[in-house]
């Protein structure tokens, strides 16, 4: 099975302009994500998919392969679909460019051992919340699955609501997912549904149409970078845990 790693990296962002190039201990954030992705032994190759010439130039300077994609994409998944139209593979693994702490062994957990390349398959990573305060933070997506790991619902609100008891570990979304070409084709051809629009979460493209998304708990430490303040959190964690060697 040919597996491709793809890191979407959008340049224009009103909340955090050129976020992929934000420095973490002197290196662009996208460098850290690329470094860990290249360590995944199951990947045939790793590409950075961007709409920015500046990001392209920086990434090529540190040796990354880059695919230029449209500026019109609203989601990273749509950018991944465009890559799938130019580079053939059996499985496309998307590693969000704002996950600088994600490790190779965690990325690999979303790749199934046996997969028919012609089947419909989508998986994502999640992890347990380590701080109860994060559960009520709307920037963190909460995941609820059935016993087989199939996603039932995703929300920015704390779900499930603990009315009947508190003995529950809340799981949050981690920005790593795997898609077959058939799944990406479905995503591209299917219009956004009402819940997707309300929650602003494109995973509902599958959920609202009763397409399974498998969630694998990677039990990993992640800090998704949404604001410049998050860079400080990442650097603090890396320093305290001796992860700053470059």
Q: Where are the domains of the chain?
A: 3-240
Q: Compute the distance between CA of residue 4 and CA of residue 105 in angstroms, rounded to an integer.
A: 15
| Contacts of residue 234, Cβ cutoff 8 Å, sequence gap at least 6 | 24, 100, 101, 223, 225
The structure tokens listed for 233 are: 């959190």
Q: Compute the distance between CA of residue 7 and CA of residue 80 in angstroms, rounded to an integer.
A: 8
Return per-residue pLDDT of the chain as tens, 246 residues: 899 999 999 887 656 778 899 999 999 999 999 999 999 999 999 999 999 999 999 999 999 999 999 999 999 999 999 999 999 999 999 999 999 999 999 999 999 988 888 899 999 999 999 888 889 988 899 999 999 999 999 999 999 998 998 889 999 999 999 999 999 999 999 999 999 999 999 999 999 999 999 999 999 988 888 888 889 999 999 998 876 654
According to DSSP, residue 168 is labeled: -
Write down the pLDDT at residue 132: 85
179 three-class SS:
strand
Other CB atoms within 10 A of residue 22 CB: 19
End-to-end, the C-alpha distance of the chain in Å comes to 31
Write down the pLDDT at residue 227: 84
0.85 cut: is pTM over it? yes
Confirm or reject CATH 3.90.550.10 for domain 3-240, answering yes or no. Answer: yes
Write down the pLDDT at residue 215: 98
């Amino acid at each position: 099975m040919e597996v491709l790693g793809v890191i979407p990296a959008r340049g224009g962002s009103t909340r955090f302009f050129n976020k992929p190039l934000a420095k973490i201990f002197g290196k662009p954030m996208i460098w850290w994500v690329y470094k860990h992705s290249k360590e995944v032994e199951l990947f045939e190759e790793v590409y950075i998919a961007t709409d920015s010439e500046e990001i392209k130039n920086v990434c090529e300077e540190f040796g990354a392969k880059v695919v230029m994609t449209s500026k019109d994409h609203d989601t990273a998944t749509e950018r991944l679909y465009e890559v799938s139209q130019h580079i053939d593979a059996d499985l496309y693994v998307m590693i969000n460019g704002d996950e600088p702490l994600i490790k190779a062994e965690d990325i690999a957990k979303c790749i199934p051992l046996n997969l028919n390349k012609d089947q419909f398959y989508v998986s994502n990573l999640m992890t347990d919340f380590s701080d109860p305060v994060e559960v009520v933070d709307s920037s963190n997506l909460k995941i609820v699955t059935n016993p087989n790991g199939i996603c039932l619902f995703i929300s920015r609100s704390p779900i499930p609501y603990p009315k009947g008891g508190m003995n529950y570990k809340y799981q949050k979304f981690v920005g790593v997912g795997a898609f077959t070409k058939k799944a990406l084709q479905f995503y591209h051809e299917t219009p956004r549904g009402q819940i997707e629009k309300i929650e602003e979460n494109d995973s509902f493209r599958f959920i609202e149409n009763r397409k399974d998304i498998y969630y694998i708990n990677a039990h990993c430490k992640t800090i998704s970078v949404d604001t410049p303040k998050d860079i400080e959190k990442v650097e603090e964690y890396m320093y305290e845990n001796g992860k700053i060697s470059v």
